Structure 1
Amino acid sequence: MNERSREVFRRVVEGYLESGGPVGSRSLTRQMNEKISAATIRNVMQDLEFMGLLDSPHVSAGRIPTQQGLRMFVDGLLEVRDLDHQDREKIDATLGSNDADVGSMLDRVGAALSGVTLGASLVLTPKHEAPIKHIEFISLNPDRALVVLVFADGHVENRVFQPPSGQTPSSMREAANFLNALSEGRTLSELRRVIASEISKRRQELDELARALVESGLAIWENEGERHERLIVRGRANLLDGAADSAELDRIRTLFDDLERKRDIAEFLELTEDGEGVRIFIGSENKLFSLSGSSLVVSPYMNADRKIIGAVGVIGPTRLNYGRIVPIVDYTAQLVGRLISDRGKG
């Protein structure tokens, strides 16, 4: 593209992102850096359409960018702003309370993101791979028991299960002591790897009832049908309120259906697997929500060991205000990573 084509293309995309509608040649004549006629602009638009960068939804109704055009704009022409001071303050204020529960904190992250961006936010909570601080077994009745896992990041997880018959308060204490001695500094997945061999080594000293309790508790933790990732979605109403026409409304409803079917999706984290930093998925590039033709701006957050443990993002129509949303998502992800890392040190 020459300089004139580039400017026409940029102004069409920016006009579309602002209004959600086609941009006509007459409106561009008043915006161009050089004085050129509407007919000349129409010729440039036709060339850009031929290149697959613009599309004309109706005859003589102006142009909108194609998915390919939006991708080219985002990769090469997007001007990412600095984070607005007011946006920063709103995010900081929402996350400022000292809540011991990570889930509650991340729920507030979602509310903050949707409130600041006026879009829908997605937050994938961690798998709670923080080191285990304490494990306890509690008898509820002869055929029901509770295993309580307290993590170093403040998260507490309770699971009810059916213990082996004949359990006593003594065997429950012994099982918990055995696990607590092994779990120090280890995550749940690390504990799983060592527990079987340790049971085998210490079979003589570990009471038979306690051994059975540990093994049945382990079976509960390893239940493959239970997913611990949780996708928090906030701000659906923002998207409905901002729909430009009935076609966009239908796409948003399709997006909501997608989100409902995929409340717990490990795949969401895979979108960020290429490393830290914000990524933008436009339309069908977004494999999770491609039916709705939505755009997703997403960034992972990391723990103190620089391991990706979750993600935050904003999702909506392809006419998202990318230049403003990218720094908001980036800042929020870094802030969440710091907060979770600080909790892990406590």
Structure 2
Amino acid sequence: MIDRDHFNPFPQLTGLDDRSKDIFRTIVESYLNTGDPVGSRNISKALPISLSPASVRNAMSDLEQLGLIYAPHTSAGRLPTEIGLRFFVDAMMEFGDLSNDERHKIERQMVSTHQPEAGVEHLLTKASQMLSGLSSGAGLVLTTKQDKRLKHVEFVRLEATKALVVLVDEEDRVENRLIDLPSGLPASAMTEASNFLNAHIRGKTLADAQMEIEAHRHELQAELDGLTAKLVEAGLATWAGASTDRPQSLIVRGRSNLLENVTALEDLDRIRHLFDDLESKRDLIQLLELAEKGDGVRIYIGSENQLFSLSGSSVIVSPYRDSEQKIVGILGIIGPTRLNYARIVPMVDYTARVLSSMLSDPN
């Protein structure tokens, strides 16, 4: 379920004795539940073993030296550091599976809101809304624009040296690109180029269409004259280049969840940074690239990998796939670092599986 191999920055910390682990676990679980620092006296009462507050303080001092916990300046209690949370998630947290009722709830919500005629984006929006509703964070879905499947391509001459490449995808969305025409191109070349492309690219993604044309390069050169062949290649190259400029489409639902229980000025500043990051899509390409490198849920805590680093937020994401089992995007949750990881990780994992299944069989 979770890709634990991706993060293991502090293997030496796995040598903590059982007493230190119990104290550390109590501090982290208290933080995840309340967000407040916890002191030695309360820790002593919560431990499964009998230990005095003085002994707890000694162990806390060792944990602090390891960089796992710290004392906020306003309190004598302790909170986990980002390193501490990372260590807890990787080495100590147990991720259970969803119950049958929870699985059925996710399936019902996804299926009941699915409208094939509304297109994939509607389904992704509903997935984002559902994840937001099931968590204390904002639901996020990021998809590549290259996954659109082509239905029709046409060249429309505007002037002697300029033309529009009109692309229609299988959801009947239309986009245009302006290209330069080869000098001396006859009017008939527009029709020939359109016919050749439409015979080879229907139902394919942009990336697959490029591979298809490359595979039929000899046929391209044999059937079409040199200028028309250049037009075919220029048309696809223009689309591919445009798609890499902004390769991601971002859907975020439930941002208001992030404002709940925010009282401190620094928390409001953190949320402001997060909203700025979401608006600018900062680091989302990196997030998608990392998710594409392996299966399973990935967790990014605070400033890790510069993902939403200024906002100090946590991101839990899982890739989803299309009908050809290609990773075409990610979905997940963005929220404060004290997210309920044990609950949200299996939820994100299963939602990604349900979405992948629906995209494989859109009907």
TM-score, L = length of structure 2: 0.81
- Give the aligned partner of residue 208 of structure 2: 190
Cα distance change on mapping 1:87 and 1:334 into 2, 3 Å? closer
C-alpha contact 2:313 2:334 (8 A) present in aligned 1:
yes
2:199 to 181, 187, 197: 181
More helix by share: 2
CA distance in 2 between counterparts of 1:191 and 1:86 reads 40
- The one-letter code matched in structure 1 to 2:26 is R
How many residue pairs were aligned? Answer: 340
- Further displaced range: 117-126 or 158-167: 158-167
- The one-letter code matched in structure 2 to 1:289 is F
- Give the aligned partner of residue 92 of structure 1: 108
Whether 2:130 is the aligned partner of 1:135: answer no
- Give the aligned partner of residue 143 of structure 2: 125
Task: Trace 1:1-346 onto structure 2 (pairs within 5 A).
Answer: 1-58=16-73, 60-83=75-98, 85-86=101-102, 89-90=105-106, 92-96=108-112, 97-100=114-117, 101-129=119-147, 132=149, 134-137=151-154, 145=164, 147-151=166-170, 154=171, 156-159=173-176, 161=178, 173-183=191-201, 186-195=204-213, 201-202=219-220, 205-206=223-224, 214-215=232-233, 217-224=235-242, 226-243=245-262, 245-262=264-281, 265-343=284-362
C-alpha contact 1:106 1:123 (8 A) present in aligned 2:
yes
Report deviation, 1:196: 6.7
Report deviation, 1:303: 2.6
Cα distance change on mapping 1:36 and 1:302 into 2, 3 Å? same
Report deviation, 1:237: 1.3
CA distance in 2 between counterparts of 1:99 and 1:263 reads 31
C-alpha contact 1:230 1:263 (8 A) present in aligned 2:
no
CA distance in 2 between counterparts of 1:200 and 1:124 reads 37
Report deviation, 1:26: 2.3
- Give the aligned partner of residue 13 of structure 2: none
Report deviation, 1:34: 2.2
Cα distance change on mapping 1:21 and 1:136 into 2, 3 Å? same
CA distance in 2 between counterparts of 1:59 and 1:160 reads 58
Which structure 2 residue ranges, 5 or more long, are not aligned? 1-15
RMSD: 3.2
CA distance in 1 between counterparts of 2:45 and 2:341 reads 24
CA distance in 1 between counterparts of 2:221 and 2:94 reads 64
- The one-letter code matched in structure 1 to 2:97 is D
- The one-letter code matched in structure 2 to 1:179 is L
CA distance in 2 between counterparts of 1:90 and 1:134 reads 32
Report deviation, 1:326: 0.3
Query: Over residues 112-158 of structure 1, what are the superposed CA-to-partner deviations in whole Å (9 max), with x where a residue is unaligned?
Result: 1111112012211133436x45214275977775623334xx57453
C-alpha contact 1:95 1:108 (8 A) present in aligned 2:
no
Cα distance change on mapping 1:57 and 1:167 into 2, 3 Å? farther
Query: Over residues 12-38 of structure 1, what are the superposed CA-to-partner deviations in whole Å (9 max), with x where a residue is unaligned?
Result: 100001111101222223322123332
Identity among equivalent positions (%) equals: 44
Which structure 1 residue ranges, 5 or more long, are not aligned? none
- The one-letter code matched in structure 2 to 1:119 is G
C-alpha contact 2:165 2:235 (8 A) present in aligned 1:
no
- The one-letter code matched in structure 2 to 1:159 is N
- Further displaced range: 203-212 or 23-32: 203-212
CA distance in 1 between counterparts of 2:215 and 2:360 reads 31
Cα distance change on mapping 1:140 and 1:34 into 2, 3 Å? same
CA distance in 1 between counterparts of 2:104 and 2:123 reads 17
SS in 1 for 2:262: coil
